[in-house]
Structure 1
Amino acid sequence: MSYTKPDIIFLMTDQQRWDCIGTFNEHIHTPNLDKLAAKGITFSQAVCQSPMCVPSRSSMMFGYYPSQLGVRTNYGGLFDEDRLPSEPLPELMRRAGYQTAGFGKTHWNHSGELAEPSSRGFEIRAIGLARESGHYEQGAVMMGDADPESLAAYHRETRHFGGGEENEFGYKGLTSQIPMNQHRDGWVAEQSLRFLEQGPDPERPLFFYLSFLKPHAGFNVPAEFEQLYNLHDIPDIPQPPWQDEQETHLASSDKVNTHSRESYLEKKNVWQQLSRDERRLTTLRYWANCSWLDHYFGQVLDRLQQLGRLDNALIVFISDHGEMLGERRYRFTKYNLYDSSVRVPMILSGSYIPRERRGSIDERPAELVDLVPTLREVAGLGTNPQLPGFDLLQEIRHRGSFCEFHGKGVTAPHSAPAYMWRTQEWKLILYVEGTVREAAARVHETRGELYHLTQDPHEWNNLYSDDSYAAIREQLKTELLMHLACSWAKGPALYDRGGLNPLK
């Protein structure tokens, strides 16, 4: 190898709960992720910046909060390459001298009507979807073009799963009857392994990005991964003492978006009729999805090891947000600010990690927006003082963690913002009911939720109006206000005669 910078291996899943790695769940089989944790740093308090794919991924890849980017829902996206607020992560890596190879989902949502939407820095690209899916990027090998028969077989198997594979059939799932390489993630994994077999550029460090579509529903899982689990060992999903949300940001969102509310009630009505074992089977298949992807991560890491690409490497593992999995009276997907939705697994591992920190758990606040600052430093690009995040390998860290929610935003207008401020012990959520259109005139109607996470990890007991907790409530409000004020003061735009020097 003629280069000195560490290789960067970026592994990602979609909708994987924070507690679905072996470090935090004794029941789950993720041996390859467990090895990464044993040789790296596991960030136990990591959160996403929006509980849905597009704003979360945009935030993570550009290093800004969703409202700084203007991408707040899954119908958002940054479309104009000439007006991007910062360089996206793969372009940063390319500019730092890395060979950039990207396999799987980015969900930029930027294709629109463009014939050749930018790959945003990826030199090599493969995506396990059809060209007309809205996920095509310039120069990408698309599964729909390269292997249309396999993609058609996958769609036939999941034809009853509904939009996003998230209806009741998608969550009930089934034992897959098609070969693994006919699955979209299987095809993507094979493309990444083929690239490694052909050999990365020996003259450049490698930025290797592998991002799967699952464990996001639907739960059509290969039998060998279902068989890792015994149905009777699967714990039941705990349920609250109430039947429906009352005076929460989630209840408020349901009022704005009746379609979302109807979708929830459809699944709730089904799940109430299921037997205990039938409900457990959904959890089993979700976990089996996690184990299946772990299997692919193991194959890729083994090949990278054989190539010597882990001798000097930083390995990142994250997911974009969590999954409710039937909590809070049979809620599924995400779209709220509770921990099962906003917390994410996050591991930094590899030979680049200092020996004294390997195998450690970092309980300080961590956010997905911290990844760009961290990887900038690793790649030798230095600090961008406009970004709100911090280098996860350094000492300075936020006081708490931030997440924002603007409703589902697909068939309804944006909800008035709901903002979360979270520490290891406490969570504050502030929201205004209704849509964002007139919310600024109704800030005096702000409502809230306050949870003592160490005593109430399920977030069932709202202490916001309890005067006994007024001091902590007001302290968290102050921290949230000043956190946003400090973040908004830096970027993404600053017009000062001193350039960016005032921010350094």
Structure 2
Amino acid sequence: MTADDRPDIIFLMTDQQRWDALGVHNPLVKTPNLDRLIEAGVIFPQATCQAPMCVPSRHSLMTGLYPSQNGVRSNESATPGDSAVAAPLLAEAMRAAGYLTAGFGKTHWGRTPETPSTRGFDVRVVGTRDLGLETGAVNWQEEGDPDGRAAYLEMTRGYGPGEEEPLGYIGATSTIPARNHPDGWIAEKALEWLDGPDLDTDKPLFFYLSFVKPHAGHNPAAEFEALYDIDDIPDLEMPPWDESRYDHIRVRDDHSPFLGARSQRWRDAWRALTARERRQATLRYWANCSWLDSLFGQALDRLARRGRLSNALIVFASDHGELLGERNFQFSKYCLYDSSVRVPLVVSGTAVAPHLRGTTDERPAALVDLYPTIADVAGFPVHDTAVGTSLLRRARRTGSFAEMHEPAPAWMWRTARYKLIVFVDPHGEGAQGELYDLQTDPAEWHNLYGDPSYLAVRAELMAEMVAHLATAFAVTPSHGARGVLAEYDDAVVPPSRGRVVSEVDA
């Protein structure tokens, strides 16, 4: 333990990992290291992101604000430079609180007016230019391993933008060493640093390790494919309607020539595949999850050997989900259905109270809750405009909110029982909607929005969402933006330095 006895914060992150792509939810998926974290911590199976796309989701997580509050609403919109960020970013807050901050891998700040700084990281290693470079960071593309980058680009030729064309989702067994993959190189640099002298400090550690996979392309190494038997992989189950159904995905595709054309290419390609070929594509996605799990395991082993897990909070999350061929061969995210908007979310480590370890918390948790959770454990105040709540406290919402603005706006309010989606069709007449009973229809196939017997439910959900947003956006310096629908115990007090945090602190 360091002289500063506040817990180390270990933040592990993936990109586009479905909430159910974990062994604890699906025994076919091999994620033993993450499963062990879950057994020693708390998992939040109802957790959602605040925007189902990379750039706004990550800005939301790092600022503790909804996309419409911090101004970053889509992957394609311009994002603020260092001087215009809406709130103190998480790593900056950690550094200001006295933490040694080390960040390895994807943050994806988007298209800033100038190359951003490392935004709070004392040590920073990033990936490729298309995911964003940072002044003062070591990057793979230009300074790290340009030959490895060239080999990876050759292997993924034809995968298209974001590696999300059909060939990227069909994938292939990797033909190059792991270190020539972006995540392999990031992991290598992270492990080298964990073995180095920088950890010989009295400062507590904020260690951020963020991978690009299992986002397409699906090109895992043979050893991880070999963990799976293709005969165990289920084929895709299709809904009782086709892509002509009117919903917010249809509106999205109708108003985005790029997304609409790509959706059609996915459908054409998957309809031409055999069932075995479709299962092979799913297998490769899961194999990528297993590869990242092994990399996390190596990092956790290094941290343990350096004594950095004896007093620690460990967080695992992904920025959004992946449709993976559902809903008539739709892939990627860019929608508000559960496969896209739900995320794996785990808090573990010795900073979690013993009676909470190994538990499941069914609250409507959200990625915006991670900022205040980390601040709670690290012992520094959260900025007044943050909309989240500490996951280690008793505060709870009645539902969770997400939004999407690319290319047409849509909003979600999700409770334990129902989901309301409201969207605007630029060529339609006013707001349109979808309503799903998640208990009887978890695949969200049967839209109840126009069903007369559900009008009262629809109205109640709409009122809850409006009330929540009205409070979240009506911020005062003294009260913050926790949301009118959250419940609090006034006896909850901030933790003292180095103390385990739980609701029993109340």
TM-based fold match above 0.5: yes
Q: Is the CA contact (8 Å cut-off) linking 1:214 and 1:290 kept in structure 2?
A: yes
Is 1:322–1:334's contact at 8 Å kept on the other side of the alignment? yes
- Aligned to 1:372, what secondary structure does the other structure show? helix
* 2:474 is equivalent to residue 500 of structure 1: no
The yes-or-no answer on 1:463 pairing with 2:448 is yes
| Matched AA of 2:202 | E
> How many Å separate the matches in 2 of 1:157 and 1:68?
40
Tell me what 1:411 maps to. Answer: none
On the 8 A contact 1:404/1:418 being kept in 2, the answer is: yes
* Aligned-partner Cα distance in 2 for 1:245–1:380: 52
Separation in 1, partners of 2:111, 2:240:
43
The aligned length equals: 479
- Percent identity at matched positions? 51
1:450 maps onto 2:435 in alignment: yes
For each residue in 1:375-405, what CA deviation from the matched residue of structure 2 results, as whole angstroms up to 9, or x when unmatched? 1111111243321111111001111000101
Q: Secondary structure at the match of 1:447?
A: strand
| Equivalent position amino acid for 1:419 in 2 | W
Partner of 1:162: 160
- The aligned runs of 1:17-416 (5 Å cut-off) are 17-112=18-113, 114=114, 116-129=115-128, 132-133=129-130, 135-144=132-141, 145-199=143-197, 200-407=199-406, 414-415=407-408
Distance 1:78 1:99 in 2: 26
1:12 touches 1:318 (CA, 8 Å); kept in 2?
yes
State the alpha-carbon separation in 1 of the partners of residues 201 and 108 from structure 2. Answer: 30
Paired residue type of 1:360: T
For 2:286 and 2:180, how far apart are their aligned partners in 1? 20
Report the CA distance shift for 1:252/1:133 in structure 2 as closer, same or farther (over 3 A). Answer: closer
**Whole-Å separation in 2 of the counterparts to 1:390 and 1:166:** 34
CA distance in 2, matches of 1:244, 1:323: 18
| Contact residue 111 and residue 134 of structure 1 kept, 8 A | no
What stretches of structure 1 of length at least 5 have no aligned partner?
408-413
1:441-482 CA-to-partner distances (Å, cap 9, x unmatched) read: x6xx22111100111011000011111111111111110110
Is residue 384–residue 480 contact of structure 2 (8 Å, CA) maintained in 1? no
Q: Deviations over 1:284-304 (max 9, x none)?
A: 000000000000000000110
1 CA distance for matches of 2:68 and 2:424?
Answer: 16
How much does 1:245 deviate?
4.2
Rounded to whole Å, the distance in 1 between the matches of 2:138 and 2:77 is 25
Which residue matches 1:422? 414
Deviation (angstroms), 1:80 = 2.6
Pick closer, same or farther for the CA change 1:245–1:426 going to 2, 3 Å: farther
On the 8 A contact 2:412/2:422 being kept in 1, the answer is yes
Offset of 1:134 from its aligned partner? 5.7
**Structure 2: 5+ residue runs without aligned partners?**
483-506
Are the structure 2 counterparts of residues 68 and 501 from structure 1 closer, same or farther at C-alpha, using a change threshold of 3 Å?
closer
TM-score (norm 2): 0.92
- For 1:37 and 1:489, the matched residues in 2 are separated by 36
Name 2:458's counterpart in structure 1.
473
TM-superposed CA distance for 1:117, in Å, is 2.1
CA distance in 2, matches of 1:376, 1:500: 18
Asked whether the 8 Å contact 1:111–1:135 carries over to 2, the reply is no
SS in 2 for 1:221: coil
Letter in structure 2 aligned against 1:171: Y
Q: Distance in 1 between matches of 2:416 and 2:191?
A: 39
Please report how far the alpha carbon of residue 79 of structure 1 lies from its aligned counterpart in structure 2 after TM superposition: 2.5
CA displacement 1:55-113 (0-9 Å, x = unmatched): 0000010010001111111013532322221110100110111000000000011544x
- Is the Cα–Cα contact under 8 Å of residues 99 and 201 in structure 1 kept in the other structure? no
Q: Verify the 8 A CA contact 1:111 1:137 in the aligned structure 2.
A: no
- Secondary structure class of the residue paired with 1:366: coil
Question: What is the CA–CA distance in structure 2 between the aligned matches of 1:294 and 1:76, rounded to whole Å?
Answer: 32
Q: Offset at 1:133? A: 3.4
Measured against aligned partners, the alpha-carbon deviations of 1:414-449 in whole angstroms (never above 9, x if no partner) come to: 41x2110001211000112117xxx9xx6xx22111
User: Helix, strand or coil for the counterpart of 2:413?
Assistant: strand
- For residue 488 of structure 1, what is the aligned residue in structure 2? 473
Cα distance in 2 between the residues matched to 1:348 and 1:277 = 37
Q: Tell me: CA distance 1:346–1:501, structure 2 relative to 1, closer, same or farther (3 Å).
A: closer
Secondary structure of residue in 1 paired with 2:268: helix
Q: 1:501 to 1:180 in 2, by over 3 A?
A: closer
d(CA) in 2 for partners of 1:335, 1:134: 18
**Quick one: structure 1 residues 465 and 503, their matched pair in 2 at CA, closer, same or farther if it must change by over 3 Å?**
closer
Q: Decide which moves more: 148-157 or 313-322.
A: 148-157
Which amino acid letter does the alignment assign opposite residue 452 of structure 2? D
Q: 1:398 to 1:502 in 2, by over 3 A?
A: closer
Which deviates more, 74-83 or 190-199? 74-83
1:431 is the counterpart of 2:423 = yes
Matched residues in 2 for 1:111 and 1:467: separation? 47
Query: Is contact 2:385-2:480 (8 Å) kept?
Result: no
- Decide whether the 8 Å contact of 2:49 with 2:319 is kept in 1: yes
Q: TM-score, normalised by structure 1?
A: 0.93
Amino acid at match of 1:481: V
Taking structure 1 as reference, are residues 387 and 218 closer, same or farther at Cα in structure 2, changes over 3 Å only? same
Query: 2:387·2:481 contact (CA, 8 Å) conserved in 1?
Result: no
For 1:385 and 1:75, the matched residues in 2 are separated by 28
For residues 165 and 421 of structure 1, the distance between their equivalents in structure 2, rounded to whole angstroms, comes to 31
* 1:245 to 1:376, Cα distance in 2 relative to 1, 3 A: farther
| 2:102–2:121 Cα contact (<8 Å) kept | yes
Give the Å deviation of 1:208.
0.2
Q: Distance in 1 between matches of 2:180 and 2:481?
A: 50
Distance in 1 (alpha carbons) for counterparts of 2:51 and 2:67: 7
Distance verdict in 2 for CA 1:159–1:59, change over 3 Å: same
Q: What's 2:16 paired with?
A: 15
- Decide whether the 8 Å contact of 2:51 with 2:402 is kept in 1: yes
Name the CA distance, whole Å, in 2 between partners of 1:111 and 1:220. Answer: 30
1:30–1:291 CA contact under 8 A, matched in 2: yes
- Offset of 1:353 from its aligned partner? 0.5
- Conservation of the 8 A alpha-carbon contact between 1:318 and 1:346: yes
The CA distance in 1 between the partners of 2:137 and 2:382, in whole Å, is 31
Whichever residue aligns with residue 468 of structure 1, its letter is S
1:264 aligned partner, one-letter code:
S
